[in-house]
Amino acid sequence: MSEKVVAMILAGGKGTRLQSLTRKTAKPAVSFASKYRIIDFPLSNCANSDINVVGVLIQYESTELDTYIGNGEKWGLNGVRSKTATLSPRQTEEGSNWYEGTADAITQNIDFLDEYNPQYVLILSGDHIYKTSFKEMIECHENSHADATISVIEVPWEEASRFGIMVCDNNDFVKEFQEKPKKPVSNLASMGIYIFNWKTLRDYLKRDAKKEDSTHDFGNDIIPTMLANNRKLKVYRYKGYWRDVGTLASLHQANMDIARGIDGPDLYDHRHDTVIFTEDTHSVPQYVGPLGSIKNSIANQGSVVLGKAESCVISSDAIIEEYAECINCVIMSGARIKMHAKVKNAIIAPNVVVEAHENINLEGDKIVLVSK
User: Does the pLDDT of residue 1 top 60, yes or no?
Assistant: no
Tell me: pLDDT of 102 over 60. Answer: yes
Within the chain, all domains assigned CATH 2.160.10.10 are found at 287-370
Match domain 287-370 to its CATH number in 3.40.1710.10, 3.40.630.30, 3.40.190.10, 2.160.10.10.
2.160.10.10
DSSP states of 18-78 as a string?
Answer: GGGGGSSS-GGGSEETTTEETTHHHHHHHHHTT--EEEEE--TTHHHHHHHHTTSGGGT--
Q: Are 153 and 189 in contact (CB under 8 A)?
A: yes
Number of C-beta neighbours around residue 225 at 10 A? 15
Summarize the confidence of residues 42-60 as an average pLDDT.
95
For the segment(s) 5-260, the CATH number from 3.40.50.620, 3.40.50.720, 3.40.50.300, 3.90.550.10 is 3.90.550.10
pLDDT exceeds 70 at position 272: no
The model's confidence at residue 336, banded by pLDDT at 50, 70 and 90, is very high
Render pLDDT for 195-235 as a digit per residue (tens, 0 to 9): 999 999 999 999 999 999 999 999 999 999 999 999 999 99
pLDDT for 371 beyond 80: yes
pLDDT averaged over the chain?
Answer: 92
Secondary structure of residue 231 in the 3-state scheme: coil
Query: pLDDT (tens digit, 9 = 90+) per residue, 142-170?
Result: 999 999 999 999 999 998 988 899 999 99
Query: For the whole model, what pTM was predicted?
Result: 0.94
Checking if the pLDDT of 346 tops 90, the result is: yes
pLDDT at 13: 84
CATH 3.90.550.10 residue window(s) in the chain: 5-260
Q: Which pLDDT belongs to residue 248?
A: 94
% pLDDT > 70, the chain = 97
The pLDDT-based confidence of 264 (bands split at 50, 70, 90) is confident
User: Which residues, 6+ apart, have CB-to-CB distance to 291 below 8 Å?
Assistant: 306, 307, 322, 323
- Judge whether residue 269 has pLDDT over 70: yes
The DSSP element (H or E) to which 207 belongs, if any, is: helix 198-209
Residue 190 has pLDDT above 60, yes or no: yes
Average pLDDT over residues 159-187: 92
Band (pLDDT 50/70/90 cuts) for residue 94 is low
**Whole-number Å distance between alpha carbons of 218 and 370:** 35
Res 132: pLDDT: 93
